[in-house]
Amino acid sequence: MQKYISQQNLNTLLDTLIKQGTRVVAPRMNSGTPLYEPLLSSAEMVSDQLPRRSAKEAFFPVCEDIMSYTKEGQQVNLKDIDPATFPETVLVGVRPCDAAAIPVLDAVFSWDYKDEFFLERRRKTTIIGLACTTADDACFCTAVGLSPADTKGSDLFLTPLEGGGYLCDTCSDKGEALINGSEGLFAEATQAKTVTLAVPQTEAFDLKKVKSWLDEHFEDPLWDGVAVRCVGCGACAFVCPACHCFDIVDEGAEKSGKRRKNWDACGFWKFTHHASGHNPRDLQPKRYRNRIMHKFKYYDDKFGQTLCTGCGRCVRICPVGIDIAAIVEEINKKCLSRRIWPNVS
Ligand code: SF4
Ligand code: SF4
């Protein structure tokens, strides 16, 4: 079902939700950097820039408390954080590459162990996606089977119209409920043309072919070649909408403290460091190999999905110019590509 919503009515919708106590998360500027963050007003939302970090933080924060303890004499008191207290949320202005990663994450967070911290936020969040009108050299969503107008993961999906306002696709019951609860703000779909959407330049990968190559090449000179520059900073994992590794740590002292869930990254040397001192991924190429294997082979083996939506964030942020798209392109084409380290002379 398609509807129309003007920019003014979208602002009214967001301001009304905020006034009613709903957490509205959208791209907003924070010290000059666009980030997905809770809005105080619709005026804060920026819709023309890709946030530096992904929308997964609305479900899976960088750091969160999962339990606290206090000790009085011999009595230890444990207090769980109750996910039922998480607020109803509307996540708006979500780029297709971010929205598409969220159902991919559902698979791992609802697998053998049900992660109620992630799942309760998922249940309580309505996602309003937004089509992309610009792409840069790092974007490659079309290479992994998505597009600047892909509605995967969105409950409602907005496409900007020439002359202003948005065409709004309803993609789920949650989206329909939001429209039904917003009387007078949505109208019948207009005949106006949508604006020209972005066109990422990377050619489509044959993901089956890439996976078959990875199945056979756990050991390969490619890994030393692509990862020789990797400094293991973990930035690629932290900006990624699909990376989801975390660590559980206890922080505190004898009398009180907290158990926390913190993001982790397979690029860190300590990630697989055993208590014995042995580290099966003792060198950076082995860690970088794991990053590619996890995204294009292991996750597919386990859940039948690719763990990359082509957002390009890891390409933009890598301090040494490692380009995952160029590496997968190389695997895809089986020939050296001059795009492997585009930012390094
Ligand atoms: S691996 Fe890189 S391009 Fe792919 S989804 Fe993650 S950050 Fe985006
Ligand atoms: S951002 Fe670049 S240098 Fe840092 S861990 Fe990722 S690939 Fe390595």
| Closest C-alpha to ligand 1, atom 8 | 311
User: What per-residue confidence (pLDDT) applies to 334?
Assistant: 65
Distance 100 CA to ligand 2 centre (A): 23
The ligand with the least distance to the CA atom of 229 is: 2
User: What per-residue confidence (pLDDT) applies to 331?
Assistant: 93
Contact predicate 38/90, CB 8 Å: no
Give the pLDDT band (50/70/90) at residue 339: very low
| Closest C-alpha to ligand 2, atom 8 | 230
The ligand with the least distance to the CA atom of 240 is: 1
Q: Which two tokens stand for residue 286?
A: 């082995």
Q: Give residues with Cβ within 8 angstroms of 139, minimum separation 6.
A: 97, 132, 198, 200, 202, 310, 311, 312
Helix (H) / strand (E) element for 152: namely none
Cα dihedral: 306, 335, 139, 31 (round 10): 100
Mean pLDDT of 290-306: 97
Give the pLDDT band (50/70/90) at residue 342: very low
CA distance 113 to 247: 15
- Per-chain mean pLDDT for the chain: 94
User: What per-residue confidence (pLDDT) applies to 252?
Assistant: 92
CA distance 14 to 18: 6
Distance 85 CA to ligand 1 centre (A): 31
Is the pTM higher than 0.85? The answer reads: yes
Could you give the C-alpha distances from 262 to 81, 288, 291, 310, in angstroms and in order? 15, 21, 19, 24
CB of 236 shorter than 6 A to ligand 2: yes
CB of 241 shorter than 6 A to ligand 1: yes
Contact predicate 45/39, CB 8 Å: yes
